[in-house]
Structures are given as C-alpha cells and as structure tokens.
C-alpha cells in the first residue's frame, strides 16, 4: 500500500479564517455546466471563501475549469487526479491504460499545471460556529483513501490520527454525506461534476459551512455536459455520459469503495 500524501518538502497545511460562510465543493472533473450552475448559487449567497476538495480538471474542459476557480476567492486541495495531471505533464509517470492518460496533459496550459502543482495536500479553515475544519481529498493520510458513510470507526480513527480537527471533510468517493464517527464529524460535500446518487440526472452536490453544515444540491442541464464532453474530444466521453445519466447508486459505490479502501 502506497500512501500519497504531501509533496516532498511541501510544508505545513495552510490555514484560513475565521470565516462566517464557506462554500465547499469537490470533484468538479471538468464539468463546466455543473460548475457554473453551482457558482451562480454560491455567488448569490455572498460566501467568504470557496474550498474545493480535489479533482478539479480531470474531465472534458480542464483549462476553462481552472480559469473559473483561479479568478474567484477560492482555495483548492490536491486530489489524486490533480496529482496525476502534474505527474503526467512533467514526465513523472508513464501513461497507464486509462484513455485520458495521454490526452489530459495536452489539455492543460503550463499555468494550469502549475496551479494544480501548487495546491496543498490538505488545508484548515476556521469556520464560525464549527471551529477548525480540516479539508482533504481522500483522507488526511492519502489522496487515494476512500472515506464513505460506512467507513468503520476503527479505520476512521487511524486515518485521522495525524490531525487534531474534529471535523474532517473529504471528497474522492463522489458521495454526499454528513456523519459522526470515531468521536469526529466526517463530511463529504458530494461531487459537483460526477456525483453518485439516486437523484435525477443533472444534479450537482456541494455544501455550505457556517454556522453548521448544510448539504446542498443544484440543478443544471446535463445534456449540455454530455454534448460538451463529446465536442471536446474527451476519450472518455461515452463513459462520462453513462455516469452522468445513469450513475451507480450510493450503496453500490459505498460497497465498492469499502472493499478497495484505496483507489487511484
């Protein structure tokens, strides 16, 4: 088992706050229609900060996705897909058998790759009413660890042992939930761009923090996302279309993820 944590020499996690209202998004995966719909709602709420929990650009429209977040009061943690882009673009890993591996680096400018590389592995935000909140992608020990609504207390205690915050926010599994486990609060805002859920297609998931945690949903035109994936020449466009219109259920994803524990 390889744990994918901070870059060598990365340093301590950045800290922000105290802030009254924080929008939390994750796993955009280059889905521009979904991201634009969510950002419109966030803008109307007048939040102090947007936090993205990893896997921003690995999808049909990477460059446009990067530019949307770059120009906002937003901070991002590095997901396993963000790490993959950097490693592929900089020759630190060979393309694997995923169709997007050879295609994705060419969809990112040097500026976009640098933006992904500079994302911290994890960060902390002091939120009014909640206290210090730890944000990461997979878990506080690896960007590939799967945290789900069924993660056993024993494993959650192990994965959170290195941090002191009582609220830990993760992405990676594309599942929206808010639960108490091992004496802490485990939250996933859900995926904006590629969620796994029982709701109607064309639903993006996110959360609003402060003074408590509010799980949110935003509707958007999923047919536009499917069309744009094909127009972009995304090698995985057919797979994405299937996942956006007929996603696996939360129960199926939870069972699969808990069987793997780590997934890249």
Q: Which two tokens stand for residue 178?
A: 């808010």
Domains and CATH numbers, the chain: 15-259 (3.60.21.10)
CB 52 within 8 Å of CB 58? no
Cα gap 84→92, rounded to integer Å:
9
Q: Which two tokens stand for residue 227?
A: 């069309």
The pTM of the whole model exceeds 0.95: yes
**pLDDT for 97:** 86
pLDDT one digit per residue (tens) for the chain, 264 residues: 789 999 999 999 999 999 999 999 999 999 999 999 999 999 999 999 999 999 999 999 999 999 999 999 999 999 999 999 999 999 999 998 899 999 999 999 999 999 999 999 999 999 999 999 999 999 999 999 999 999 999 999 999 999 999 999 999 999 999 999 999 999 999 999 999 998 899 999 999 999 999 999 999 999 999 999 999 999 999 999 999 999 999 999 999 999 999 999
**pLDDT for 57:** 98
Cα gap 144→123, rounded to integer Å:
17
**pLDDT for 145:** 98
State CA 232 to chain mean position distance.
22
**pLDDT for 87:** 98
Longest dimension (CA), the chain: 47
CB 248 within 8 Å of CB 173? no
Q: Which two tokens stand for residue 216?
A: 């949110």
If you ran DSSP here, which 8-state letter would residue 106 be given? G
Give the SS3 label for residue 41: helix
Cα gap 243→131, rounded to integer Å:
36
């Amino acid at each position: 088992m390889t744990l994918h944590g901070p870059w060598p020499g990365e340093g301590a996690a950045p800290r922000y706050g105290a802030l009254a209202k924080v929008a939390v998004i994750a796993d955009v995966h280059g889905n521009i229609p979904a991201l634009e719909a969510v950002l419109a709602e966030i803008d109307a709420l007048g939040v102090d900060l947007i936090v993205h929990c990893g896997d921003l650009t690995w999808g049909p429209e990477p460059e446009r996705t990067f530019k949307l977040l770059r120009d906002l009061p937003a901070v991002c943690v590095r997901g396993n897909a963000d790490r993959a882009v950097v490693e592929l673009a900089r020759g630190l890993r060979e393309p694997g058998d995923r169709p997007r591996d050879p295609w994705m680096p060419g969809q990112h400018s040097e500026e976009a790759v640098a933006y992904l590389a500079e994302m911290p592995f994890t960060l902390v935000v002091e939120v009014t009413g909640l206290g210090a909140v730890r944000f990461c992608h997979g878990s506080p020990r690896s960007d590939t660890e799967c945290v789900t609504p069924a993660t056993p207390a024993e494993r959650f205690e192990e994965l959170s042992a290195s941090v002191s915050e009582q609220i830990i926010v993760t992405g990676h599994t594309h599942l929206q939930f808010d639960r108490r486990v091992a004496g802490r609060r485990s939250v996933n805002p859900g995926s904006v761009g590629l969620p796994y859920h029982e709701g109607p297609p064309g639903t993006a998931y996110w959360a609003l923090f402060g003074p408590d945690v509010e799980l949110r949903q935003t509707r958007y035109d999923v047919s536009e996302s499917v069309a744009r994936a094909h127009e972009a020449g995304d090698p995985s466009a057919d797979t994405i279309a299937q996942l956006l219109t007929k996603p696996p259920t939360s129960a199926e994803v939870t069972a699969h993820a808990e069987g793997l524990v780590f997934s890249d």
